[in-house]
Amino acid sequence: QVQLVESGGGLVKPGGSLRLSCEASGFTFNDFYMSWIRQAPGKGLEWVAYISFYGTTIDYAGSVMGRFTISRDNAKNSLYLQMNSLRAEDTAVYYCANERGGWLDSWGQGTLVTVSS
């Protein structure tokens, strides 16, 4: 069955960096756009970034533009999110998900990123 497993979260100081990973299995990875979505504690969902099948199309939410970079390695069935210049407001659970035409089909269990001094 489809499985998405995020890793790489943790505690980081403001201004620091983290790289999140999402390992996919159970489906043909390069047949799907992939996305990162986040959820601040007790809050709603925010789409962070998405990437097309081979990485030719990428877009970001305005709140992370210029600080975060989404990428993928289809040979490793993996999705990444490089997060730089982290701020307190980036504290959230980060989910990866595969996308079908704009809606999110399968989701990982999430990884918590905490930005605090």
Task: Please give the C-alpha separations between residue 103 and each of 40, 62, 82, 89, 117, in angstroms, as whole numbers.
Answer: 20, 19, 23, 25, 36
Question: From the centroid of its chain, how far is CA 3?
Answer: 15
* 66 makes contact with other proteins (CB under 8 A): no
Give least dist CB 90 to other proteins, A. 16
Answer for which of 59, 73, 85, 88 binds other proteins (CB under 8 A) is 59
Among 21, 27, 67, 107, binds other proteins (CB under 8 A): 107
Residues 6+ apart with CB under 8 A from 52: 33, 58
Q: Under the criterion CB under 8 A, does residue 3 sit at the interface with other proteins?
A: no
Contacting residue, 22, 104, 113, 115, with other proteins by CB under 8 A: 104
- As given in the structure block, the two tokens for residue 109 are 């269990």
Residues that bind other proteins (CB under 8 A): 35, 44-47, 50, 59, 61-62, 95, 100-105, 107-110
